[in-house]
Amino acid sequence: MQPLDKIKEYSETVCNQIRWKKAHPVIAEEIKNHLCDQRDAYIAEGTEESTATNMAIKQMGDPVLVGMGLDKTHKPKAQWGMLAFTLLLFITGFLIRIIAKDSFDYSTRDNFLIPAVLGLGVFFMAYFIDFTILGRFPKAFFFFMLLIGSIGAFISVTRGGGRYFLVMSPFSFGLSYISLLCPLAFAAFIYALRNKGYLGIVLCEAGYAVLAFVLLKISMLSGLAIFSIAAFCLLLTAVLKGWFQVKRSAGVQLVVVPAIILFLIVGFYILKNPYYYERLAAVLEPQFYSNEKGYISNMLGVLLENSRFIGKGALPAGYPSSDIIPVYYTDFILTHLIYNYGWITFLVIGALFAGFSAIGVKYVLKQKSVLGLLVSLSVIITIICQVAMYVVSNLGFNLLATLPLPLISYGNTSLVLNMALIGIMLSVFRTGDIARDRRTTNKGSHPFIYRDGDKLIIHLK
C-alpha cells in the first residue's frame, strides 16, 4: 500500500467513529496534515518514506480510539441559551398579539396564527441548514437581493405610505423589510471580495452605494439606517481583521472617511429639508407642535408621564385612552404596554432583548471563520439596531418611522424574516467551529516567478 493510501485509510477509520458527518472532511484534512508533517519530519532525519509514514501513524495512535475521542468533542452545539431567549421573545410577542387583538383597526390583524407557525418553521429550517452555502454563492446572493429590490421599485403597489408586494392578507410583503436582509447580503459580498486589497474595499463601498440607492426608493429611512450601520461595522471589522490584506491604518481611513462624509451629507439634508427639520423640532419641543407633526411625540410624552410601575396609568381629563396613538400595535406597542400594564412590562421585554443580545455578541466574537463571523455579526447588528430604534421612538424621540419590534409587535413579514435571520445566526453558532472558509486567489498578488526565502516559486495559477 502506498504511503498516501495508508494515511487516507487511517483518516477514514477515524472518521467512521465520528457520528457528526459534517465534521468528517475537516477532521480528515487535519489528520492528513498532521500525519504528513510528522512523516516529513522523520524523512528529514533520513528515514525512508514508507517507514516514516508507518512511524507517524503509530505515533498518532489507534484510529478507533482516536475517533471515539474526537466523537465526544465534535458535536453540533445546540445553543440552548439563545434558543431559550428566542422562544421567550416569540411567545411574549404571541401573547401580546392576543392581548391587543381586540384593539386592532384592521380585520387582517386577527389572523396572526398562520404567520406565527410559518415563522417557527422558517426559524428551525434556517437553524438546521448549512449556513456555509452563503460562502459558495456570495455574489449571487448579493445581486439577487439587488435584483429583488430593483424589481420591487417598479412593480410594487403603494399602501399606507409604504410599498408592498402581494397585497393579500396576511401575506402582503412590505418592501421596507428587504432592508433586514441587506446586511446579510453585504456580509456575503465582503466575503467574496476579501483578499482583494484596496480594490476590494472600494468595490464593497460601491456595492453598498448601489444597494443603499435601491433601499432609498423602496424602504423606510430607518431600514436604510439599519443597513448603513451594519455595512459600516461589517466593512470596518473586515479591515481591522486584516481580511483585505491592506495596511490597517490606510484601510480604516478608506472606510471611515467616506462614512463621515455621508453622515455630514445626511445631516445637512435633514436640516435643509423642511419636513425632517420640522419633525426634529417636534421631537425636541413637542409641546409647540401638539397639533401638527409633534402630535405623536406629545401623546407619547403624556402617556409615559402618567404611567405607573405596575398597573394602568391615569390620563388627565380630555384623554380618553391610550389608543389615541395611531397604529400603536405596530409602531408603539411598548408605550401602549407601559401605560396599560406598567413600566414592569418594559423592563421584562428589555431584559429579554438584553440577554439575547449579550449572549449573541459573545458567540459572534468567538467565531473563527471569516464567513461565520460576518454572517452572525450582520444578524446581531440588524436585531440590535431594530430594537434600539424602536425603543428610542417609543420613549418619545419619534424622528423616523421604525420597523416593528422584532418578534414582539405586529408585523407578519417582520416576524418571519427576523425568525429566519435568528435561525441563520444560531446555525453559525451551532456548527461554526468546523466551518472552513473557501480559498480565494488574488491574481495580482505575485509575479510569475518570485523568491520566497530560499525557494524559487513559479506562480502558474
Q: How far apart are CA 82 and CA 121, in angstroms?
A: 17
Does residue 362 share a domain with residue 298?
yes
Choice between 15 and 383, residue whose per-residue pLDDT is larger: 383
Share of the chain above pLDDT 70, in %: 77
Q: Which whole number is the average pLDDT over 118-127?
A: 93
Quote the pLDDT of residue 14: 81
Choice between 234 and 44, residue whose per-residue pLDDT is larger: 234
Out of 209, 232, 264, pick the residue that ends a domain. Answer: 264
Quote the pLDDT of residue 443: 44
Does residue 195 share a domain with residue 98?
no
**pLDDT tens digits, residue range 264-323?**
888 787 677 776 666 666 666 665 555 556 677 777 878 888 889 998 888 776 666 555
Q: How far apart are CA 376 and CA 424, in angstroms?
A: 8
Does residue 422 share a domain with residue 329?
yes
Judged against a pLDDT cut of 80, whether residue 257 lies above it is answered with: yes
Quote the pLDDT of residue 398: 75
Q: How far apart are CA 307 and CA 330, in angstroms?
A: 20
Does residue 26 share a domain with residue 167?
no
Quote the pLDDT of residue 170: 47
Does residue 406 share a domain with residue 282?
yes
- Contact at 8 Å (CB) between 85 and 356? yes
Does residue 18 share a domain with residue 42?
yes
Residue with cell 491574481: 443
Does residue 444 share a domain with residue 318?
yes
Share the mean pLDDT of the chain: 81
Question: What cell was used for 102?
Answer: 381586540
Q: How far is CA 2 from CA 5, 6, 7, 272, in A?
A: 5, 6, 9, 76
**pLDDT tens digits, residue range 313-360?**
887 766 665 556 666 667 888 988 898 889 999 999 999 999 999 999
Does residue 180 share a domain with residue 317?
no
Does residue 417 share a domain with residue 336?
yes
Judged against a pLDDT cut of 60, whether residue 446 lies above it is answered with: no
**pLDDT tens digits, residue range 7-56?**
888 888 887 887 667 777 778 888 888 888 888 888 888 888 888 888 88
Quote the pLDDT of residue 417: 94
Least-confidence region, from 178-182, 240-244, 331-335: 331-335
Out of 246, 264, 282, pick the residue that ends a domain. Answer: 264
Does residue 120 share a domain with residue 151?
no
Judged against a pLDDT cut of 60, whether residue 442 lies above it is answered with: no
Q: Which whole number is the average pLDDT over 65-69?
A: 79
The domain in which residue 89 lies consists of 77-131+273-461
**pLDDT tens digits, residue range 83-114?**
999 999 999 998 888 776 655 444 444 567 88
The number of distinct structural domains making up the chain is 3
pTM, full prediction: 0.81
Does residue 152 share a domain with residue 127?
no
Judged against a pLDDT cut of 60, whether residue 154 lies above it is answered with: yes
Out of 264, 299, 322, pick the residue that ends a domain. Answer: 264
Total count of residues recorded for the chain: 461
Does residue 87 share a domain with residue 69?
no
- Contact at 8 Å (CB) between 219 and 178? yes
Confidence of residue 159 (pLDDT cuts 50, 70, 90): low
